Structure 1
């Protein structure tokens, strides 16, 4: 589903995604219409603008996820302001691109979002990582300690790379492992940390300082 208050831009994004093989099941121009249509169509991915007719993208993200909790929201906005990025992420968005992104970059980002990976325009990822680190330092590492419940050295190593946004294929190449072995480590870590997907796993790693080198 594509949510944007500018009809020409909204139609262009929907057309580009359809050309890339995606099924665009709905479009909307605001918070209320996004909620109504998401409740009906239950989209896997929502491409969300931050400036809408009756509110903002953070409000729309929260509303969409209330009625369609299985959806994943990728913000596509003209704004790269810190507050906009953080508000979107806090509302539940799993990625944030600026509108200068190419058609190929948007297509790749939508596919990654559908797979549960966090996608950010270069530069914005560091901003989000820094905010999570600040929150973690304020709240403390929690009762499980700095590494968490019984992770192996290899699982910790894989987790560090997940926190940096690498795909399983990239991690496999860096660690000289098979793609399947990396996926098995990721799934084992999901179970041990009781997280549902790579976004939550990366968040755990960031909160516990595992995105740092070393």
Structure 2
């Protein structure tokens, strides 16, 4: 069972999302309404996924995402926000968020996104993934990928990394390379460990910075 923490300062919305997720078989282990509450609770419950609003009364979702990264490093943050502004999306990702959905997403889209986030995938509302990749490419062009000391990846790991950078899911990669979904995930996790990266968003950034997304 996937363990979820729901963070939002609007009680009716927060409780409604928590109820929907519970009905879909998730375990909602905590809710929070502020950065302070997130900081106090997340380490104790260690959720698989933190569903994060961007506007909180004592700070932002960026602040709360940073608090999650420090107190519960294994937790993945999926932003669920009313804002689709470029600066908000990029700030959330740079703080460590694994994905970003706008609140107009359907219940089905939200449920699928939480499951995908728990599986280590980067999930974005259509259009926002391109924005994030564009920013990573800009960083790479400005000199973010100059490190010649690349960890030794196997040929297969490099193939999988290239396809992750193109936005393919594990199942799509498996079909492309004639591998099982589980084998692809094993390659992704091995690559994350070797590169000392936390999630697929960072893996995609790494691939772009080193020219592996072409």
Q: TM-score, normalised on structure 1? A: 0.88
Q: In structure 2, do the counterparts of structure 1 residues 68 and 181 end up closer, same or farther at CA, with 3 Å as the change threshold?
A: closer
CA distance in 1 between partners of 2:175 and 2:86 (Å): 33
The match for 1:94 is: 98
**Secondary structure of the structure 1 residue equivalent to 2:28:** coil
- Using the TM superposition, give the Cα deviation of residue 150 of structure 1 relative to its aligned residue in structure 2, in angstroms: 4.9
Please tell me whether the aligned partners of residues 133 and 209 of structure 1 are also in contact (alpha carbons under 8 angstroms). no
Q: In structure 2, do the counterparts of structure 1 residues 36 and 149 end up closer, same or farther at CA, with 3 Å as the change threshold?
A: closer
CA distance in 2 between partners of 1:99 and 1:37 (Å): 24
Q: Which of the residues 84, 89, 95 maps onto 1:85? A: 89
- Provide structure 2 residue ranges, at least 5 long, that are not aligned to the other structure: none
- Provide structure 1 residue ranges, at least 5 long, that are not aligned to the other structure: none
The match for 2:166 is: 164
**Secondary structure of the structure 2 residue equivalent to 1:120:** coil
RMSD: 2.0
CA distance in 1 between partners of 2:189 and 2:84 (Å): 33
CA distance in 1 between partners of 2:71 and 2:152 (Å): 36
**Secondary structure of the structure 1 residue equivalent to 2:137:** helix
CA distance in 1 between partners of 2:166 and 2:46 (Å): 30
CA distance in 1 between partners of 2:196 and 2:96 (Å): 18
CA distance in 1 between partners of 2:155 and 2:67 (Å): 40
CA distance in 2 between partners of 1:85 and 1:133 (Å): 16
User: What is the aligned length?
Assistant: 210
Please tell me whether the aligned partners of residues 98 and 199 of structure 2 are also in contact (alpha carbons under 8 angstroms). no
The match for 1:139 is: 143
Q: In structure 2, do the counterparts of structure 1 residues 136 and 178 end up closer, same or farther at CA, with 3 Å as the change threshold?
A: same
CA distance in 2 between partners of 1:116 and 1:205 (Å): 16
CA distance in 2 between partners of 1:110 and 1:196 (Å): 17
